[in-house]
Chains A and B, each alone.
Chain A
Amino acid sequence: MRPTLDSLLSQAYPADAASLERTLAVARKELALRRTVRRWRSQAVWVFSSTVAMGLLVASVLLVLRQVTFAALWSRAPLFLMLWITGAVCAWGALSPRGQRLRAVGVLMSAVSAAALVLSRAAPQVEATLPGWVCTASHVGVGLGPLIVSLLALRSAAFRPLRALVAGLSVGTTGAVVGELACAQGWVHVAGYHLTAWVLIAVVELVVSRSLKSRSFAP
C-alpha cells in the first residue's frame, strides 16, 4: 500500500549520533571560550550613544572655536531632538529581534526628519565658501565611527535588508545633526548634499552588512 504524502513527510529523519556528537563538541569548545554575551538592548544603546556622542563632540569643538553660539544651538534644539529620537527609534528597531514594525516607523520618521531639515531652511544665510560635496563628505565622515559600531552590533543577528538600512539611517542622523550645526546653506543645498549623504551612509551600511559574515543567525 502506498503511503500518503503527509505520512511520508511526517516520518522521522534517520538519527545520526556521530553528527550530533561532533556538533556538541564544537558547541562545547565555543562555550569554553567564555565570550561576553551582550543583550541586544545594550547594543542598541551603544549604537545610539555613538551617534549622540559624535554630535556632542562636534558641537563642543564648534563652541570652543566660537563657530557656533549657545543661542544658535538652542534655536535648533527641536530639530536636534527630532533627529535624536529618530536615531534612537532606528537603532532600537534595527537591533530588536521583533522590531519589524519599529523598523517601518524608523523609516517613516527618517523621511519626516529629512523633510523637516529641508523645510526649516529658507534662503542661504551666508555665501557658500566651500563646494557642496564638502558637506556630503563631512556628513559621511562623522558617521564612520557610529557606522563601525552599528556594523559590529548587526553581526550578532541574521542579515535582514531593512534591519541594515534602518541601522544606517540611525547612523546617518549623526551627519544630519552636524550639518545643522555647521552649515548655513539653503534648502536646495540640504536636499542635494546632506540628504544624499544620509542615504549614502544607509546604503553603505546595507552593502557592508550584507557582505560581512554574521556571527549568528538569530532573529
Chain B
Amino acid sequence: MGSPTDEELMERFCQGEDASFEALFARHAERVRGFLARMVRDGPLAEDLLQTAFLSVIRARGRFEPGTRFESWLLTIAANAARDSLRHHRHAEAFSRERPLDAETMSPGVGDPGLRKQLEEALQQLPADQREAVVLSKVEGWSFEEIAALQGGSVGAARLRAHRGYEKLRVLLDGVVEA
C-alpha cells in the first residue's frame, strides 16, 4: 500500500489525528519556507510567516474542503499571510530587518549563494503581485487559473502580471543570466 495522499492526511487531521499534521508538515514545510523567503526575503519574517501559515492550517482545518488540493490550499494560506505582512511591514522595514543567512544551519551546495542573493534582490524590486505571480508560476508550477483564483481577477490579468514580472526580472538580472 502506498503512502497516503496529502488530502487523505488532511482528512485524517480534520478527524483529530495529529500525526497526520506532522506528516504534512514534514512534506511541505521546506517548500513553503522557500516560497515565503522569496516573497519577503527577510529570514526572520519568513520564519514568522511560516509559523503563521501552519498555525492557520491547524486553526482553520474546518475550512478545508474535500476535493481541494492540499498543496494549493497551503500555499494560498502562505501567500495570504505574506501579502498581509507586506501590507503592514512594507518593504522598507523588511529590508531593515534583513539578516545574513545562518551558515551553520543552511545545507551547503544548493546553487550559487551570490547568484541567489542577486535573484532575491531582483525579486524584491518587483511589485508584490508580480513577484507572487512569478514565484507561483515559475517556481511552484501553478497554473494561471490557480493564480487568478488566489489574486482575484481574470486569468489574463494573472498571466500578464507573471509575464511583466518575469520580463522585469530578466532586465534586472541582465548580465547575470542568459538572455
Contacts and interface: CB of A to CB of B under 8 A. Distances in A.
Interface of A: 2-6, 8-20, 22-24, 26-27, 30-31, 35, 37-40, 42-43, 97-98, 100, 156-160, 214-219
Given A27-B21, A217-B77, A97 B177 contact: no
B92 interface: no
Given A19-B50, A20-B30, A9 B139 contact: yes
Interface class of chain B by DSSP? helix
Contacts of A27: 21, 25, 51, 54-55, 58
B170 interface: yes
Nearest to B119: A8
Interface residues of B, number: 60
Contact of B115 (A8, A14, A40, A216): A8
Given A20-B29, A23-B51, A38-B62, 14 more contacts: A8-B111, A14-B107, A15-B106, A15-B107, A16-B43, A16-B105, A18-B105, A26-B55, A37-B59, A97-B63, A100-B152, A216-B55, A217-B52, A218-B57
Contacts of A8: 111, 115-116, 119, 173, 177
B38 interface: yes
Contact of B25 (A24, A43, A157, A215): A24
Contacts of B106: 14-16
A40 B62 contact: yes
A157 B170 contact: no
A82 B34 CA distance: 49
Contacts, number: 159
Contact of A12 (B34, B50, B51): B34
20 contacts: A5-B170, A8-B119, A10-B138, A11-B110, A11-B111, A12-B110, A13-B34, A16-B101, A16-B106, A19-B43, A23-B47, A23-B51, A37-B61, A37-B62, A39-B62, A43-B62, A216-B55, A217-B77, A218-B59, A218-B60
Contacts of A12: 34, 110-111
Nearest to A16: B105
Contacts of B102: 16, 18
B80 interface: yes
A14 B65 contact: no
Interface in B58-100: 58-65, 68, 73, 76-78, 80-81, 84
